Chains A and B, each alone.
Chain A
Amino acid sequence: MPAFLDQKDRKIIPRWRDFKTTASLGELQSTKQAVSPTSKPEDFLETKIRDWQKQRTASFASDLLGAAFVLGRQNEVRDAAEFILTKDSGATRAARSLATKVLGRTPPDDTSQLVTLNPRQRIHFLRTRLGDEPRNSLAWVDMAREYAILAMPDKAAFAMDIGTKLAPENRFILRSAARLHIHLDDPERAHHLLLKAESTPTDPWLVAAEIAISQLVKQPSKFIKRGRGMLSAGSYSPFHLTELASALATSEMDAGNVRNAKKLFRQALEKPTENSVAQVEWALTHSLGIELSPQHLLMPYSFEARALDAFYTGSWRQSLQESWAWLKDQPFSSRPAIHGSYVASVALSDFEEGEQLTRLGLTANPHDFLLLNNLVFSLASMGKLEEAEETFAKINRAALSPSNEVVWLATRGLLYYRGGQLQEGRALYQQAIEKARGEPFRRLRMMATIFWALQELHSNSFEAKEVKAFALDQSKGASDLDIQLLLQRLSSEETSP
């Protein structure tokens, strides 16, 4: 049985993208008020303009262009930039490149960074760079990310350690490090890192991360009060406060204070990051009574929110497409591949795509149960039983949570069915259903019964009719669109006379 993304709990854990992409999203702007210089220095630009007008040569044009660029007065030197770009100007490549930028003719920067090089190539590039610039903390962090994508946790942690030692107070580095340690199943370390950083108490982005991670480690946050103060102080722009408001809103939700949570989520949506939008999208599944506007979902990098939104509205193909983009954006995360593979295999019966997604997700998370499980489901559904068995054997059953145990039993059952061992399969599905008693497992139980019935039908067994009836009965009143889709499929399946 394929596993779906557990939406019971979501914390607004910092996203971890490469530096360039993170900067392009505006998350690394200064939060402080601008400092006026004590004196206004001279820029001598007029003299340089006069010199250029008189000489009209490459050196004078380049010198002027560079100075104007530094001063933010590019518009005054467009003629010099045009001159530099003429074929015979004699200007250097660097000057031509700057002239192109000044004239706005630079091709749009591919900030998406969505796989132009593979992680190994990027590691090679970054290592070369760090050979020349060993103090470049951002390059260390970017390299840690590539190692995380390749499931090389020790190397990722080592590179991140150097990055954090070089710049222990930097927002990008601290948030990235926190995210890595959560990925490496060490949220306590992520929390500790934020607690000890001197910059955390004055930076709403770091306070937000600390509050979210304290929820994860189930410890009281040290910055709840400070965070509330930041929200009401009026000294930060709404964008700088969006994740803080989301973190506090989640905290209020956990405490059952829905009214406060709603208020805070509304504040988070004033000028949100895509992570805040995704957090609200998650909160919507808990009947919070707030709304996301279409504009929110159109935000750059809102892949997760769009994938989930499409899922809840039954737009399966779109949800799958967004899952791919989500996975490419957060390749070390298991969540996009879990969600995408579930949509592919359950809603679209596209097992090949389900396999591709899970295999990609397993690159960074080779031991993730849900990914291994969904891969087994896809492989078995395509008749690749041997591979499915091999993959299934990699699962460490002892470490499974009760709900994952239900999934495990059902998938084991599936493998028996597909291997022609109907009785063993039936027994395992029954065990799964038995284990999924109680309200928290309601959805899981419905799925297990439906998939059991589907396997009986697929096996053309004598029991198929009875199990089908049982599954339809057990799933009465199911409101989730994916369950309804499965029920439709089950209803339309013919049983043997």
Chain B
Amino acid sequence: MSASSVSSQAAVPSPAERLAGRTLSGGWKVLELLSSSPNSTGGRFSKGYLVESKDGVKAFLKALDYSEALRGPDPARALQALTTAYNFERDILEHCKDRRLTRIVTAITNGKIEVDDLAGLGLVEYLIFELAEGDARTRMDAVARFDVAWRLRALHNIATGLRQLHGEGIAHQDLKPSNVLVFHNKSSKLADLGRSVVKNKPSPFEGLEIAGDLSYAPPELLYHHISSDWSRRRLGCDAYLLGSMVVFFFTGLSMTSLWMSELHPAHCPQSWSGSFGEIMPYLRDAFGRAVDRFKDHVVEGLRNSLVEVTRELCEPDPTHRGHPRDRSGIGNQYSLERYISRFELLAKKAEYGWFKEI
């Protein structure tokens, strides 16, 4: 089938869009198609559903939509890429489940279902996840404006999730507010491992300079300074993204947008054609101003700690990123252990009302 014939049938729901009302293997009943949902990461190549188990447990189903892939200029390649990405995500989720990574949203189950389709593409593959209440953004809007305790607890959960992944040789690469899911007990987990990169194993997006979302990416990747060292490139990126989440929880903006707004337009990645080393003085200056802005958004008792954490995690030069003690030692420069302890301590203090609100 050609791409044009598929697009001529664009109004006809694709198989992935026709799962509502069906019962899947394991007794899962597909309740409704969701236009947007907390778990609906994965872009336009998937559809999200609310599903219910035989025991009445509600969950989220992510169905792969092959028809979207067929609309592109090279359907065969797109299909192959989609299948590879699905298989990768499924396998990595299985691995995380087997390894009991508690701060990662793991799939409850996965499977496939045949849906009648004139185009002969009726097979729909799916993943079923535990149902989240929302992502970091929805939670931020729901909680009191200065609910510091929740933010710090979320940061602790996120850092723990990243450490769990790193321990398995997996770098998330796409940590951002929409990929932090918040559950009914208000705890947070990392979602969407589709963009992650596994050490010494092929990953669908490892060939891209920026595997994750461009708009949150660390400076070295935005300026095409790609290290050949796996840890520096991948774990360094995750460390930056964790620091960026700290900034997001207090300013509503990513660290990247904050420093870029302090940079002269000629020095922004779109305009700059020099090397990363050449941009560094300008970047460092803009970064300093960005941290100053961030500082204004943090309650006084917490300010120094979080500014220090942000400076270390978001340090523009990846060779200087990370905790000073880990940078000077022989271990993992981007180890998150110290940050986890720090977030835990700060979260506890906040839960006991330690920090005076602004």
Interface residues in B277-309 (C-beta closer than 8 Å to A): 277-278, 280-282, 284-285, 288, 291, 293-294, 296-297
A168 smallest CB distance to B (angstroms): 10
Contact A67 B257 (CB under 8 A): yes
Choose from B211, B264, B272, B273 the contact partner of A23 (Cβ within 8 Å).
B264
A91 to B294, CA, bound (A): 14
Is A245 an interface residue when CB atoms closer than 8 A count as contact?
no
Contacts A90-B145, A167-B281, A169-B277; A95 near B140 (Cβ below 8 A): no
* B254 interfacial by beta-carbon distance below 8 Å: yes
Work out how many contacts link A and B, with CB atoms closer than 8 A: 178
Known contacts A38-B209, A59-B141; is A66 also within 8 Å of B254 by CB? yes
Q: Are A92 and B260 touching (Cβ within 8 A)? A: no
The answer to whether A24 and B264 touch across the interface, beta carbons within 8 angstroms, is yes
Q: Report the Cα distance A45→B273, complex, angstroms.
A: 24
Contact residues in A for B36 (Cβ distance below 8 Å): 50-51, 54
Range for the number of chain A residues in contact with chain B:
35 or more
The 0/1 profile, CB within 8 Å of B marked 1, for residues 134-167 of chain A is 0111110000000000000000000000000011
Residue-wise, chain A 117-149 has the 8 Å CB interface mask toward B (1 for contact) of 000000000000100110111110000000000
Whole-angstrom distance between the alpha carbons of A41 and B270 in the complex?
A: 13
A59 to B251, CA, bound (A): 9
**Which of chain B's residues have a CB closer than 8 A to the CB of A133?**
284, 288, 291
The answer to the question of B168 belonging to the interface, with a C-beta cut-off of 8 Å to chain A, is: no
> Closest approach, in angstroms, between the C-beta of A131 and any C-beta of chain B?
11
Tell which of A35, A57, A93, A129 touches B288, judged by Cβ atoms closer than 8 Å.
A129
- Taking CB atoms, residues of chain B closer than 8 Å to A19 are 285
List the B side residues contacting A48 at CB < 8 Å. Answer: 178
A38 vs B207: C-alpha distance in the bound complex, in angstroms? 9
Whether a CB of chain B sits under 8 angstroms from the CB of A391 is no
Q: Is the CB of A23 within 8 A of B266?
A: yes
Q: Judge if A427 is at the interface, Cβ distance under 8 Å.
A: no
- Residue of B177, B274, B296 ringed by the most chain A CB atoms within 10 A: B274
Is B126 among interface residues, defined by CB-CB distance under 8 A? Answer: no
Contacting A41 at CB < 8 Å: which of B43, B217, B253? Answer: B217
Smallest Cβ-Cβ distance to A54: which chain B residue: B36
**Chain B interface residue number, banded:** 35 or more
A54 to B214, CA, bound (A): 23
A138–B282 alpha-carbon span in the complex (Å):
7
Interface 1/0 per residue, A87-114 and B, CB below 8 Å: 0001111110110010000000000000
Please report which residues of chain A, range 52-98, place their CB below 8 angstroms from some CB of chain B when the two chains form the complex.
54-55, 57-60, 62-63, 65-72, 90-95, 97-98
User: A55 to B252, Cβ gap below 8 A?
Assistant: no
**Interface SS majority for chain A:** helix
B284→A70 contact, CB < 8 A: no
A30 at the interface (CB under 8 A from B): yes
B285 near A139: Cβ-Cβ < 8 Å: yes
8 A-B residue pairings within 8 Å (CB atoms):
A26-B266, A51-B137, A59-B138, A59-B140, A59-B177, A70-B256, A70-B260, A136-B281
Top-9 shortest CB links A-B = A66-B257, A62-B252, A67-B215, A41-B210, A30-B274, A59-B137, A94-B251, A34-B273, A57-B141
**Interface residue ranges, B against A (CB under 8 Å):** 35-36, 43-44, 136-138, 140-141, 145, 177-178, 207-217, 224, 248, 250-254, 256-258, 260-261, 264, 266-268, 270-274, 277-278, 280-282, 284-285, 288, 291, 293-294, 296-297, 311, 320
Beyond A66-B257, A68-B215, list 11 extra A-B contacts (CB 8 Å): A32-B274, A42-B214, A44-B215, A55-B138, A69-B260, A70-B257, A70-B260, A92-B253, A94-B251, A98-B261, A132-B288
Q: Which residues of A contact B (CB under 8 A)?
A: 19, 23-24, 26, 28-35, 37-39, 41-48, 50-51, 54-55, 57-60, 62-63, 65-72, 90-95, 97-98, 101, 129, 132-133, 135-139, 166-167, 169-170, 172-173, 199
